[in-house]
Amino acid sequence: MSVFLNHTLRTLCLLLSAAVLYVAGGAAWAASALPSNTSVTYTPDVTFTLRTNIADGKLVFVGDAGTIRGKVNPDLQVPENAVVQINLINGDGAIHDIAVPEFSAKSDHLTGKGASTAIVFRANKNGVFEYLCTLPGHKAAGMFGKLIVGEPVQQAESQGLDIAQDPRAVGEPVGKREPRHITFNLETTEVVGQLTEGSTYKYWTFNNKVPGPLLRIRVGDTVTVNVTNAKDSSHIHSVDFHAVTGPGGGAAVTQVPPGQTKSFTFKALHPGLFVYHCATPMVAQHITNGMYGMALVEPEEGLPKVDREYYVMQGELYTAQKHGSLGLQEFSLEKLLDENPEHLMFNGAMNALSDKYKLTAEVGETVRILFGVGGPNLTSSFHVIGEVFDRVYNQGSLTSPPLTDVQTTTVAPGGATMVEFKVDVPGNYILVDHALSRVEKGLSGVLSVTGKEDHSIFHSTEPIDPKSGH
């Protein structure tokens, strides 16, 4: 009888232990809750506590205790096969959760400031994995970090050339000058560039940047374009200017083999904001790899003066690896033809307009954004969260009356627009394509506005405390 009772008690203990871990870590974790020898653990081997917060305009996790205390999105290092508990405290009052998808661990949602939850899972695989908040847009806003299990096999450092185009690189306004003959030199290159931290891509570029340089022209100018294909290129490249009246927009005479240069000259007949791109077959592959840019052809009197000008283009990458993968990302023809990109970005890289280059302005200033879509496939619904465009030069037309008071503007692949707006309230304003699931694939940027608050336009209203009356 005693043997039977002991066996029964042991079985109940095992079931109870599994049930506790099942509740804490979620149903999907239960399959790995117990080690192969069915030994029982009543407490986790490693515990971390994170608190949600806002830092530098981003949503983040901040270490709340121990060696990670105060660290933003800290690396969480654990031994292989350890039972790991991650506690999460809501520190900002927004809705959040925490998940480690590789181990099928996901918490419930936290909906109030000070609320807490936890996940428990067994880290039974060696490697580097991601923890994140799964709420739409929250990862893109900054809520992700690394879980490092064991001693991962050392990988080659995933570093590439900085190909992200500086949005401030807008050139000199033409003003009221007379037409002249100007020359632009474009070099086509094939380089391994930095897509985001820990991942790279073999970009094809104009002048080692994505997008290529903004070319600023006056209507009536005579323009010579020299296209040089780098010696170490593997492909023929060319350029098609949508601003050009002539065969292929110049592409018919600029199919340039590696190590050679070809040129053409055109007269700028039409003012406007125009896209240019490589037009060598397969054209869509050349474009998606980064071969696009814009030319601004200003009208005779130039453009009205503004305080800030920025150059922004939207692009797509089609890779065999899933979004978020580390290492070199490889081109996928199948996904390109299916028009199913893994990555979307402004100015060539995931963090180009959020970490590397922030758009900035002071309260009271007028901002102009020269915006285009390299594509090659997706139409953009360009929007700045928290702002209304005072003027939109629809489809890049500078001779048509601008639209006024516009929330979101549509820009086709190979199309452009120019928007202007005055900033009235300090804060961070997020640039997005309002097809908002694309934020999850990297498509966002930040306009940071500083200056004096104007409570007549916007201010936070805290609920009244019935006890204190305020």
Question: Count of alpha carbons within 13 Å of 159, Cβ hemisphere only?
Answer: 2
138 has binding-site annotation: no
Residue where the block lists tokens 């739409």: 136
Q: 432 burial class (0-12, 13-18, 19+ CB within 10 angstroms)? A: buried
Strands (E), 318-400: 327-329, 343-346, 359-362, 366-375, 380-385, 389-393
Q: How far is Cα of residue 294 from the mean position of the Cα atoms in its chain?
A: 20
**Residue 419's closest CA among 437, 430, 429, 405?**
405
The answer to whether the bond into 282 is cis (omega within 30° of 0) is yes
235 has binding-site annotation: no
181 has binding-site annotation: no
d(C-alpha 303, C-alpha 282), whole Å: 36
455 has binding-site annotation: no
d(C-alpha 29, C-alpha 45), whole Å: 16
User: CA-CA distances (angstroms) from residue 222 to 9, 238, 399?
Assistant: 91, 20, 20
270 has binding-site annotation: no
383 has binding-site annotation: no
DSSP state at residue 66: G
1 has binding-site annotation: no
User: CA-CA distances (angstroms) from residue 133 to 62, 70, 94, 123?
Assistant: 13, 18, 12, 19
Question: Count of alpha carbons within 13 Å of 440, Cβ hemisphere only?
Answer: 12
Cα torsion for 449, 442, 385, 272, to the nearest 10°?
90
Tokens of 382: 């360009």
DSSP state at residue 64: -
Inter-residue long-range contacts of 248-254, CB under 8 Å, 24+ positions, other chains counted: 248/279, 249/276, 249/279, 250/225, 251/278, 251/279, 251/280, 254/225, 254/227
The strand pair at 427-433 and 444-450 is best described as antiparallel
Annotated binding site for Cu cation: 237, 242, 277-278, 286, 291, 434
Annotated binding site: 237, 242, 277-278, 286, 291, 434
